[in-house]
Amino acid sequence: MQAFGHIPFHSPIQDYLVLIWELNGHNKQKELILPKGIIEIIFNLSSPMSAVLPGGKFAVKAPTCFIQGIHTGITKVDYHGHQHLFGLRLRPHAVRSLLGILPSEISNQAIDLTLINTHFYGLWQQLVEATSFNERIKVVESQFSPVKISKCPRTELLSNLFLQGNLQLVISKNLNRYIGKIDVFESVESLAQKVCFSARHLQRKSKELFGMNAEELIRYKKFVNAVELIHRGKYSLSEIANLSGFYDQSHFIHVFKAYSSMTPKVYEKSKGNLPFHLFS
């Protein structure tokens, strides 16, 4: 599998894009995707694929261009031919300004983007015709004109704290380079104090940005931190539980299994190079 990533530093699109990535993989394979706390636009540049979304029972064909919200359960993907995906990871607080929808409206969903804006079909065509990852980056930078993001420093801080760690993985040839630190969400009170919200306002913002209340957000963030730490490869599972903010090993296992349907130990043994993704 070839994997590429680009962080748009010093670019107008950095106000709403965290990462531009591309995966060019194997033929006719299955993939299990764990919840990874991201909102992203995905362009399928190759063969059709289908997926069973969190909470779903049946596989549905994925659109050629779609946006997926934050998932709280596993997604099962089946690639019917060659896998070639190009993605744009969005900043949660910028989604409404960019697309006119709240992030909470797309939680556990994959929405056809051409139903939101027909412009995306033309963008998909240009990305298909481009011959390299660098060319596709130029397409995105030319087509995504600067958008005036509705600014609220506290909302932006909450969004960025959530992104720390899990979204700052730099996809490269070795898939093992990280920047930034992991931010632990310890309690509703401490998080509210950190972002200068009242506990009540934090509840509302959490629901709006992430589709879950503040208590759920804290558990979710701990799970995402744990998966990333497992991939750093230098901590025991008990150390990971502690670093991620879990009360004890039992609490760690319970929460991890609730989101992934497997124990941390099973995931550690099954993991590949790409965090949150298991291929077969």
**Residues in Cβ contact with 204 at an 8 Å cutoff, skipping those fewer than 6 apart:** none
Strands (E), the chain: 2-6, 17-27, 30-33, 39-44, 49-52, 60-61, 65-68, 75-79, 82-90, 110-112, 169-170, 177-178, 277-279
Mean pLDDT in the chain?
89
CA dist., res. 245 & res. 247, Å (int): 7
pLDDT tens column, 73-111: 999 999 988 899 999 999 999 999 999 999 999 999 999
Asked if residue 86 lies in contact with residue 41, where contact means CB atoms within 8 angstroms, the answer is: no
**pLDDT in the model for residue 232:** 86
pLDDT at position 217 over 60: yes
The answer, yes or no, to whether residue 205 has pLDDT greater than 50, is yes
Distance of CA 203 to CAs 155, 215, 219, Å? 12, 8, 14
> Mean pLDDT, to the nearest integer, of 232-248?
91
Please state, in angstroms and rounded to a whole number, the distance separating the CA atoms of residues 225 and 241: 9
pLDDT confidence of residue 90: 95
Quote the distance between the C-alpha of residue 92 and its chain's center: 10
CA separation for the pair 155, 265 (Å, rounded): 35
Which structural domains are found in the chain, ordered by start? 2-143 (2.60.120.10), 154-273 (1.10.10.60)
Tokens of 236: 């025991």
Report whether 150 contacts 96 (CB < 8 A).
yes
